[in-house]
Amino acid sequence: MQSRISIAAVAYEPNKPLVIEDVQVAPPQAGEVRIKILYTALCHTDAYTWSGKDPEGLFPCILGHEAAGIVESVGEGVTEVQPGDHVIPCYQAECRECKFCKSGKTNLCGKVRSATGVGVMMNDRKSRFSVNGKPIYHFMGTSTFSQYTVVHDVSVAKIDPKAPLEKVCLLGCGVPTGLGAVWNTAKVEPGSNVAIFGLGTVGLAVAEGAKTAGATRIIGIDIDSKKYETAKKFGVNEFVNPKDHKKPIQEVIVELTDGGVDYSFECIGNVSVMRAALECCHKGWGTSVIVGVAASGQEISTRPFQLVTGRVWKGTAFGGFKSRTQVPWLVEKYMNKEIKVDEYITHNMTLGDINKAFDLLHEGTCLRCVLST
């Protein structure tokens, strides 16, 4: 098998514009899959790592982890996918053999995480990307801001070939994360009241998940009041802007809900808001789920009394979904019109416009921007 020349967006340094250039993509080795990426969206975690605030961020690298494509070639021993299969790369692997996968207690997988966290492939601890012979690091085991990428076979979900790749690419991260935070991590029951901090794609997917779980009050909290109009379409039925109140936002929510909410979700990545989200939960049973990713060095705090008196603090990665097993199921749910996907796509561009797309991501009007490669 031969190397491929692929146009990719390379992040050479934190916060410096990504460089669109030809990258050499080596053939897949044993247990690896080379994918032709057709569509990739941008997630705030890409922006976070690019900003230099991710302790696992390495440069130069190829970012991107919310995408869809077609298998181009496979390495020795790969049995579950073959060239031509339609796939979604999954940053959270699922090997079905490791201690984590077998535990039945988590969707985290231990098989390749030690390599994906340091930008290399498991086999030889090296990268498959290079420019003029110099290696470029992988990112989250996916690196989808490239026409071709190489991933571990345990990180590939084979999906229905009839599914529109330009839409279902979103099922690689943000939408499943929000839905799963509600369905798998919090396990929201009918009649619950729910507070969602941050109404970006992840927060809106939490709202959609809460609505389908039968939550009655779905309170959206965002410092941008423009978010409410869109949020209503995803199930938010009350809106609070912390800027409209002098009191701490947790006190406002506790008063609004006769003692606090049953479930809250932090979908921003702000540790002060994480505290507020915990403290707005009802004494005795309220559960708060941390979804947002906070910068290196940031820590959460609260009075231990908050937990002693029955509030529960949890976190979620990819909404607790087992990736290879459940991403195809989510695709089917989308095809059956049981979950939204199209509604999160506010912009479409090409890979060459990726720097403009990142600018848009920081504007309040952009939920997901899908790039064609």
163 binds ligand AHE (CB under 6 A): no
Distance separating alpha carbons of residues 317 and 192, to the nearest angstrom: 23
227 binds ligand NAD (CB under 6 A): yes
- Binding residue count for ligand AHE, defined by CB under 6 A: 12
Give the residue with the Cβ less far from ligand NAD, 50 or 137. 50
Query: Could you please report the per-residue DSSP string of 210-260?
Result: HHHTT-SEEEEE-S-TTHHHHHHHTT--EEE-GGG-SS-HHHHHHHHTTS-
Q: How would you classify residue 127: left for phi > 0, otherwise alpha for psi between -120 and 50, otherwise beta?
A: beta
In the list 49, 149, 316, 323, the residue contacting ligand NAD (rule: CB under 6 A) is: 316
Shortest distance, position 43 Cβ to Zn ion, whole Å: 3
Map the footprint of ligand AHE across residues 106-125, applying CB under 6 A: 108, 113
In the list 13, 22, 56, 229, the residue contacting ligand AHE (rule: CB under 6 A) is: 56
User: Residues 256-285: x/- map of binding to ligand NAD (CB under 6 A)?
Assistant: -----------xxxx--x------------
Give the SS3 label for residue 14. Answer: coil
In the list 58, 98, 223, 271, the residue contacting ligand NAD (rule: CB under 6 A) is: 223
State the CB neighbour count (10 A cutoff) for residue 78: 18
Give the residue with the Cβ less far from Zn ion, 170 or 281. 170
Closest by alpha carbon to 281, among 266, 262, 267, 300?
Answer: 262
Give the residue with the Cβ less far from ligand AHE, 56 or 189. 56
Q: Is 189 a catalytic residue?
A: no
Q: Catalytic one among 4, 34, 40, 45?
A: 45
Q: Is 343 a catalytic residue?
A: no
177 binds ligand NAD (CB under 6 A): yes
Shortest distance, position 89 Cβ to Zn ion, whole Å: 12
Q: Is 101 a catalytic residue?
A: yes
In the list 45, 49, 149, 326, the residue contacting ligand NAD (rule: CB under 6 A) is: 45
- Which of ligand NAD, Zn ion, ligand AHE, none does residue 70 bind to, with CB < 5 to 8 Å depending on kind? none
In the list 26, 115, 173, 179, the residue contacting Zn ion (rule: CB under 5 A) is: 173
Task: Give 347's strand partners.
Answer: 369
Closest by alpha carbon to 322, among 141, 87, 106, 142?
Answer: 106
279 binds ligand AHE (CB under 6 A): no
CB of 318 closer than 8 Å to CB of 140: no
Q: Is 4 a catalytic residue?
A: no
In the list 54, 72, 94, 262, the residue contacting ligand AHE (rule: CB under 6 A) is: 54
Q: Is 61 a catalytic residue?
A: no
Query: Could you please report the per-residue DSSP string of 80-142?
Result: S--TT-EEEE-SS---SSSHHHHHSS-S---SSHHHHTTTS-TTTS--SEEETTEEEB-STTT
Enumerate residues 6+ apart whose C-beta is below 8 A from 193: 215, 216, 217, 218, 219, 257, 261, 262, 263
Q: Considering only the stretches 137-145, 162-170, 198-206, 207-215, report the one whose residues sit in contact with ligand NAD under the rule CB under 6 A.
A: 198-206
Number of separate helices (H) and strands (E) present in the chain:
12, 17
Q: Is 44 a catalytic residue?
A: yes
Q: Is 113 a catalytic residue?
A: yes
Enumerate residues 6+ apart whose C-beta is below 8 A from 289: 181, 185, 186, 263, 264, 265, 266, 314, 315, 316
DSSP 166: H
Q: Catalytic one among 98, 251, 302, 346?
A: 98
Give the residue with the Cβ less far from ligand AHE, 253 or 369. 369
**Could you tell me the two tokens for 111?**
């098989």
Q: Where do contacts with Zn ion occur on this chain (CB under 5 A)? A: 43, 45, 173
Q: Where do contacts with ligand NAD occur on this chain (CB under 6 A)? A: 43-45, 48, 173-174, 177, 197-203, 221-224, 227, 242, 267-270, 273, 291-293, 316-318
Catalytic residues: 43-45, 65-66, 95, 98, 101, 109, 113, 173, 368
